[in-house]
Chains A and B, each alone.
Chain A
Amino acid sequence: MNNEMTNNTQPEKVYAAPKFLTRKTKRLIFYTLMIALPFLQFLLFYVYVHIDSFAMAFRVETIDHNGLLHRYYSWDENFKAVFAYLKADEYIGIGNSLRNYFIGFFTSGILSIFFSYYVYKKFIGSGVFKVFLYLPSIISAIILVVVYKEILNRIIPTAYNEILGLEGDQGMNALLNSDKDKYTWVLAYSIFMGFGGHILMYTGAMSGINESVVESAQLDGVNAFQEFWYITLPLIYPTFVTFTITGIAAIFTAHPNLHTFFGMADPFTYKIHTLGFTIFASVREGSIITTKAGNLLSLTQVSALGLLISAVMLPTTLILKKVMTKYGPSTD
């Protein structure tokens, strides 16, 4: 109706798009306009930032006694400082990072595949268990750490001492008071709370397995473990590889909530560093010069450390992918 009225008053010319604006051109203009901002963001906050991060690794910044900032470039100064930091006797960040990753990988990482299988096969209570396994990934670590600390520091020692009738020095103390065991308890927490995301991904992958394959195996009389070992595991192996490959960088970047357990100010937090926590705490501190009596790195040193980690992780990722793809279970 409107068209008719308009057509009566104005000929088609009004509606005809200018010749240079063909459908193709309009699409191109729209595409360019829509992409422009996200791409600009990528150029600035990924490309530029990483180039600057690379440059920062070779930049040294100091403050003189007048409070003036001096910058100069050096090929090796930051790297020497980083190596000295990592080689210091009291620094156990690399060992802790490796321990953190591999213990996590071989416990919650592997168990989550078994648990996912249980959920996927809808065995007894699988719906409830799925919720329990997933809850730690949506409930804030603050809550879980606060309660976990109370249980370690009060409930377990109190129960232990009461059961065995121990008192005073003979009794068990708060578990997190022992410097020797602190990291172990932190690690236990990480393992216990680390199932959520894995469970969802693995059950998702398992639900994509062709039902007829499973049914024919069941008709052949396989039991649950055989089905898991010979059918489910090989068929979700690509998911496992992807998970492992994309998660490998976490070896040197993950930090298991040390500051939530002990706070940033507790000197002990710095004794049980992981490499990831060193980076986090150093950036948080954001100092030009090294602070806290050598406990943290300066920002430029963090960039140098990041560059070193990237240089190690890049080939590691590629090699791991090749090895895992070559030697993984066959789906035949």
Chain B
Amino acid sequence: MEKTFKVKKTNRNLNPFVIFLLVMLILYSAIFSFLIIFGTINSFKPYLQYDRELDYLGLPNYDNPLYTDPRMSKNPVYFPHAFYNYEKVIQKIPAPEGEPVVRYYAGFNLDDIMPKYKDNPNTSFFKIVGQSFFYAIVGAVIIAIVPAVVGYLAAKYPYKFSSLLYSITLFVIAVPLVGADPARVRFMSQLYLFDTMIGDFIVNFTFTNVYFLVFYAYYQGMSGTYAEAAEIDGASQLRTLVSIILPLAVKMMGTVILIFFINRWNSYNWQMIYLPNTWMIAYRIYSITSVNPQILNNSTPTVIAAAMILAIPILILFIIFKDKIMGNISMGGLKE
């Protein structure tokens, strides 16, 4: 008891080193909080309050007749309400018909090989959100399950090939080979997989990532008696894998799925190259905030609201699974 007390006491001692770190962290948190609070408040602000009256730091004001926006409503006595900017974003996010689409060349003319992309489909906000959700969740599940299964096989099936799988993964992680994107894009075009969601899932159907090592280490440390008992009871190898082995690592897989769901929901760089004509929410919001803000009438609060929409599901997930997302990672992987 006494020992524990002493350690705690020492940890809370404020010496100059700790005070320096504390000040830095307070400063960092204050700046970051300001960014988020500033963004949140202004996403609710009437366009004219922000962009014409230059009221950057005030609270949203919906009662001032000066903030009537004739460009956004035909009604001259219209006053925006709290969610006006968000409403506008939901209306404007779908790509309008006739908006130019990316004519991705990559050695192949997409107009020839993928005629369906000649016209950009006029899709709804909710369809884009649904599509993005599907893209994020399915991809995240694939990214979690493939290394888990291959990690198990490599750890528990003592063939020479298993050692090869381990060495391959180490090689892929450690050796920096750069510049394969052009060849990958072209190969996907040849397979008619370029700019398709299924193509994206296939590219991510890989075991050569750090999570292979995590699952490998986990299954190697696991007793073989689980699988043996199941086999004695007559379970097939597949049944053992699906009903016993994978559920044992379900918490780890859950964390990997969460991390990659967030990653894929927010991703737009990858889509700019591999899914240039498939609108996902992050890519679409990138294109209207960074490339074409005129779609939102160049209204800064609406642009901020568009960006904020992206954060809503992520923050909900973070609030629910904060400990899972932040607490389970250690060097070389995840801890249960």
Binding site for B on A (CB under 8 A): 23, 26-28, 30-31, 34-35, 37-39, 41-42, 44-46, 48-50, 52-53, 56-57, 61, 69, 111, 114-115, 117-118, 121-125, 128-136, 138-148, 150-151, 154-155, 158, 192, 200-201, 204-205, 207-208, 214-215, 218-219, 223-225, 228, 238-239, 242, 245-246, 248-249, 252-253, 259-265, 279-280, 283-284, 286-288, 299-300, 302-307, 309-310, 313-314, 317
Interface residues of B in 30-44 (CB under 8 A from A): 31-36, 38-39, 42
Q: Within 8 Å CB of B42, what residues of A?
A: 150
CB-based contact B161/A35 at 8 Å: yes
- 6 pairs across A/B with beta carbons < 8 Å? A140-B285, A150-B304, A192-B31, A204-B329, A283-B273, A300-B182
Q: Which of B79-87, B89-97, B169-177 lines the interface with chain A?
A: B169-177
Interface size class of B (residues with CB under 8 A): 35 or more
CB-based contact B183/A52 at 8 Å: yes
Q: Which of B21, B54, B104, B304 has the most CB of A within 10 A?
A: B21
Binding site for A on B (CB under 8 A): 3, 6-7, 10-15, 17-18, 21-22, 24-26, 28-29, 31-36, 38-39, 42, 54, 56-57, 104-107, 146, 149-150, 153, 157, 159, 161, 165, 168, 172-187, 202-203, 205-208, 231, 236-238, 241, 262, 266, 268-269, 272-273, 276, 282, 285-286, 289-291, 300, 303-304, 307-308, 310-311, 314-315, 318, 322, 325-326, 329-331, 335
| Smallest beta-carbon distance A177→chain B, Å | 16
Would A132 and B202 be within 8 Å (CB), given that A142-B307, A303-B179, A306-B179 are in contact? no
Residue of A nearest to B234 (CB): A15
Q: Within 8 Å CB of B24, what residues of A?
A: 111, 114-115
15 new A-B contacts, CB < 8 A, other than A123-B21, A201-B330, A245-B174, are: A30-B238, A35-B161, A38-B207, A42-B207, A46-B206, A118-B21, A129-B29, A135-B36, A142-B286, A200-B326, A218-B6, A284-B276, A286-B185, A302-B179, A317-B176
Q: Within 8 Å CB of B238, what residues of A?
A: 30
Query: Complex formed: what's the CA distance from A143 to B12 in Å?
Result: 36
Would A146 and B303 be within 8 Å (CB), given that A38-B150, A192-B31 are in contact? yes
CB-based contact B31/A50 at 8 Å: no
| Smallest beta-carbon distance B73→chain A, Å | 24
Q: Within 8 Å CB of A128, what residues of B?
A: 29
CB-based contact A138/B314 at 8 Å: yes
CB-based contact B290/A38 at 8 Å: no
Q: Within 8 Å CB of B286, what residues of A?
A: 142, 260
| Smallest beta-carbon distance A231→chain B, Å | 13
The list of the 7 closest CB pairs from A to B, nearest first, reads A306-B179, A204-B330, A249-B176, A53-B183, A30-B237, A299-B182, A225-B17
Query: Complex formed: what's the CA distance from A245 to B170 in Å?
Result: 13
Q: Within 8 Å CB of A204, what residues of B?
A: 329-331, 335
Would A121 and B11 be within 8 Å (CB), given that A49-B180, A142-B286 are in contact? yes
CB-based contact B178/A309 at 8 Å: yes
Query: Complex formed: what's the CA distance from A28 to B158 in Å?
Result: 10
Q: Which of B28, B202, B289 contacts A41 (CB 8 A)?
A: B202
| Smallest beta-carbon distance A202→chain B, Å | 8
| Smallest beta-carbon distance A45→chain B, Å | 6
| Smallest beta-carbon distance B108→chain A, Å | 9
CB-based contact A303/B183 at 8 Å: yes
Q: Within 8 Å CB of B310, what residues of A?
A: 140, 142-143
CB-based contact A287/B105 at 8 Å: yes
Residue of A nearest to B231 (CB): A23
Would A302 and B150 be within 8 Å (CB), given that A42-B206, A42-B208, A201-B329 are in contact? no
Q: Within 8 Å CB of A200, what residues of B?
A: 326, 329
Query: Complex formed: what's the CA distance from A69 to B106 in Å?
Result: 12
| Smallest beta-carbon distance A282→chain B, Å | 8
Q: Within 8 Å CB of B3, what residues of A?
A: 215
Q: Which of A41, A56, A121 contacts B182 (CB 8 A)?
A: A56
Q: Within 8 Å CB of B304, what residues of A?
A: 146-147, 150
Would A310 and B17 be within 8 Å (CB), given that A123-B11, A125-B25 are in contact? no
Residue of B nearest to A247 (CB): B176
Would A155 and B17 be within 8 Å (CB), given that A132-B32, A218-B10 are in contact? no
| Smallest beta-carbon distance B86→chain A, Å | 14
Residue of A nearest to B34 (CB): A151
Residue of B nearest to A51 (CB): B183
Query: Complex formed: what's the CA distance from A118 to B272 in Å?
Result: 38
CB-based contact A115/B17 at 8 Å: no
